[in-house]
Amino acid sequence: MAPSAILGTAPLDQEISIISSNTPTKATRTEVKHPEEPALLHRSLLERPHNVSYASGSYMTLKDGRKILDGCGGAAVAIIGHGNEEVLSATLAQMRKVSYVHTLSYTTDAAEDLANFLLHNPASASKHSLEKAYFVGSGSEANDAAMKLARQYFFEQGQTQRKCFVARRQGYHGNTIGAMSISNNLARRIPYRDLAIPNVSFVAPAYAYQYAHASESEAEYCTRLIAEIEAEFHRLGPQNIIAFVAEPVVGATAGCVAAPKGYFPAIRKLCDEHGVLLMLDEVMCGMGRTGTYFAFEQESVVPDIVTVGKGLGGGYAPIAAVLISGKIIDVLRAGTSAFNHGHTYQAHPVTCATALAVQNIVRREGLVERCADMGRLLEKLLRETFSASKYVGDIRGRGLFWALEFVEDRRTKSTFDKSVGFGLRVQQAAFERGVAVYPGGGTVDGVSGDHVLIAPPYNVSEVDLRIIVDTLKAAYVSIERYIDGEQGSSEKCILKL
Ligand SMILES: *Cc1c(COP(=O)(O)O)cnc(C)c1O
C-alpha cells in the first residue's frame, strides 16, 4: 500500500497502529505497568530504556552491569566511539576559555576553526564549492535552516513565486515542522500532517531492491526514476520549485539505500536546467560514514547545500551544520548580505570546539579511509554470513553503514506482517546477546518491511566487527527458528519475545 493511499484516508485506529508500531513498545504494550513513573518523558510511556552508566570505546556498560558492544553508534552518531579523553580535554578547555557568546555581536576561534576545518578539508576540498558553514544544534534545525536559505536565495533574486520543494518518499530529514514537511517517514508524520507546510511533493525513492522491475536494468530503472522527477517538475512548473531534496544514501527510514548509478548526476542536470537548487541531506550518511568525507563524492555531483549532523560531533556534542555553496552566498552578497535566520545557540563555542576535536582525530588517524577499509570487511562478513539466510532479502550499504532488509519470501520480496516486528525482534535478540544494532520498520513504504542497521565507530576493531556480525547472526537465527516454529499457529504474529 502506498503511503499516499494511507495518509488522510485510513481510519484513525489504523493510523494510530502505524504510529505505535514505530515505537519499541509493541511486544510488551499491554503487559508492562510501572508503578513509579519517571519525570523524564521517554520515547514510550510503557517501556524504560536501558540506563547506561559508563561508555568507553565501542562498549557501553549498563547500570545493571551488562556490557554492550555498540554496533550502531546510537543512530550512526558515535563515529570515534565513546569516552575519548582528547575530546573531553578540548571541551573543558573551551569551557574555561569561553562557554557562550551571542553570534549577533561575537564570534569565537572555536566556531571559525571548525568552519575552516570542514570546508578546507584537503581530502575533499577539490570536490566541492562549499564556501560557508552555519552551525546549529540538530539535523532537523540544519534542514529547516537550509530550506529557509534556499527560499531566501530566490526571494532576493525576485523569484518569489518559487515555493515548492520536491523530496522523496521513504526519506527522512527531521522532526521539526519544516524538516518533517519534506520527510516521508509515515509514522512520524501522521498526527501532524495538517500542520505540515504545503507545496511539498514526493517522488519515488531510488530503491532498486523493492522498486526496480525484475526486467529492468540499473540504467533503465534510473531513467524511469528521472522521468518521474522531470514529470513532477513540469507538473509543478519548474520555475516554481526551490529545491530537490534527498539523502545520498537513505538512512534510518529504508536502511542504507544508495541510488542507481547515474541518478544524482541526472538530477543535478535537471536542477541546473531549471535553476532549481540541489539540497543533499548527509545528516546520517555524511562525515565519512560511507567511506568518503561526503557521501555525494561517490555520486559525482556537487550539491548547492548540504547538511551534516550525527557524525559531526560524534555524539560528544549536539551539533549539526549547513554547508553552503558560493553560488548562494554570492546572491546574499549582492542582496541583503545576511541570512534572515538565527538561533541562540548557533555556532556555540563549546559544541564547535568539541566537534573540532572529534574531526581532528578523524583526520589525524585517517579514520575516513579506515571506515572505507573496514567497510569492505564488514560487507564481506555480512555477505558470507547472511547470503543464504532465508529471511534476509537484501544486504546493502557503503563504508561502515550497512543494513539487512528482512522479507518473508525472498522470491517475491513480500514483507512480514508488521505485527511480527521482525527487525525489532532481531535487534532485541542481538541486544540480549550483548550487541546493539539499530532497527527499522516500515522499510518499504512506511508501513511494511523490516531492517536492521549496522553502523559501528570508524575505529571499531576487527575483532569487534566480527563479534557484531556473529552476534547478529545468532540473534537472526533465534528469530528465524521462532518464526518457523510458530508456522501455522494463529498466534504466530503476536507473541512476545
Ligand atoms: C537524524 C536525521 C535527521 C534529523 O536530525 P536530528 O538531529 O535528529 O534532528 C535529518 N536527516 C537525516 C538523514 C537523519 O538521519
Residue 184 Cβ inside 6 Å of ligand 1? The answer reads: no
Terminal CA-CA length for the chain:
28
Ligand 1 within 6 A of CB of 174: yes
Asked if residue 390 and residue 270 are part of one domain, the reply reads no
Ligand 1 atom 15: residue of nearest CA: 284
Q: Which atom of ligand 1 is nearest to the CA of 179?
A: 10
**pLDDT tier, 128 (very low <50, low <70, confident <90, very high otherwise):** confident
Residue 442 C-alpha to ligand 1 middle, in angstroms?
Answer: 17
Same domain flag for 171 and 285: yes
pTM of the predicted model, to two decimals?
Answer: 0.93
pLDDT band at 12 (very low <50, low <70, confident <90, very high): confident
Q: What is the pLDDT of residue 84?
A: 98
96 and 56, same domain (yes or no): no
Q: Can you tell me which atom of ligand 1 is nearest the CA of 139?
A: 5
| Cell representation of residue 308 | 551534516
pLDDT greater than 90 at residue 470: yes
How high is the pLDDT of residue 52?
Answer: 97
Q: Which of 309, 338, 364 is the last residue of a domain?
A: 364
Backbone dihedral region of 383: left (phi > 0), alpha (psi from -120 to 50 degrees) or beta? alpha
Same domain as 170, residue 261: yes
Site to probe by mutation for ligand 1, drawn from 147, 180, 283, 319 as the one with most ligand atoms within 8 Å of Cβ, is: 283
pLDDT of residue 10: 65
One domain, residues 329 and 404: no
Q: How far is CA 227 from the centre of its chain?
A: 26
Q: Are 299 and 385 part of one and the same domain? A: no
Question: What is the model's pLDDT at position 223?
Answer: 98
Which of 312, 343, 364 is a domain's end point? 364
Expressed in angstroms and rounded, the spacing between residue 440 Cα and the centre of ligand 1 is 14
Average pLDDT over residues 378-401: 98
- Expressed in angstroms and rounded, the spacing between residue 310 Cα and the centre of ligand 1 is 7
Ligand 1 neighbourhood includes 173 CB (under 6 angstroms): yes
Picking from 336, 364, 392, the residue at the C-terminal end of a domain is 364
Least confident of 54-63, 127-136, 219-228, 323-332: 127-136
CATH label of the domain that carries residue 59: 3.90.1150.10
Q: What is the domain range of residue 385?
A: 3-82+367-496
DSSP per-residue codes, 372-408? HHHHHHHHHHHHHHHTT-TTEEEEEEETTEEEEEE-S
- For residues 379 and 449, state if they share a domain: yes
Choose which residue among 284, 294, 401 to substitute to test ligand 1 binding: the one with the highest number of ligand atoms within 8 A of its C-beta.
Answer: 284
- Same-domain status, 323 and 379: no
Ligand 1 atom at minimum distance from 281 CA: 13
Closest CA relative to residue 354, chosen from 80, 170, 129? 80
Q: What is the pLDDT of residue 9?
A: 55
Q: pLDDT: is 24 or 46 the higher one?
A: 46
pLDDT band at 190 (very low <50, low <70, confident <90, very high): confident
358, 428: one domain: no
Q: Is 81 in the pocket of ligand 1 (CB under 6 A)?
A: no
Cα separation, 59 vs 252, in Å, equals 22
Q: Is the same domain home to 306 and 259?
A: yes
Ligand 1 close to Cβ of residue 172 (< 6 A): yes
| Across 57-61, 445-449, 464-468, least confident range | 445-449
Q: Are residues 387 and 294 in the same domain?
A: no
**Ligand 1 center from residue 283 Cα (angstroms):** 5
Ligand 1 center to residue 360 CA distance, Å? 23
Least confident of 97-101, 106-110, 186-190, 195-199: 186-190
The number of distinct structural domains making up the chain is 2
Residue 301: CATH number of its domain: 3.40.640.10
Q: What is the pLDDT of residue 33?
A: 52
Residues 288 and 273 in one domain: yes
Q: Name, in order, each residue with C-beta under 8 angstroms of 292's C-beta and a sequence gap of 6 or more.
A: 124, 298, 368, 372, 399
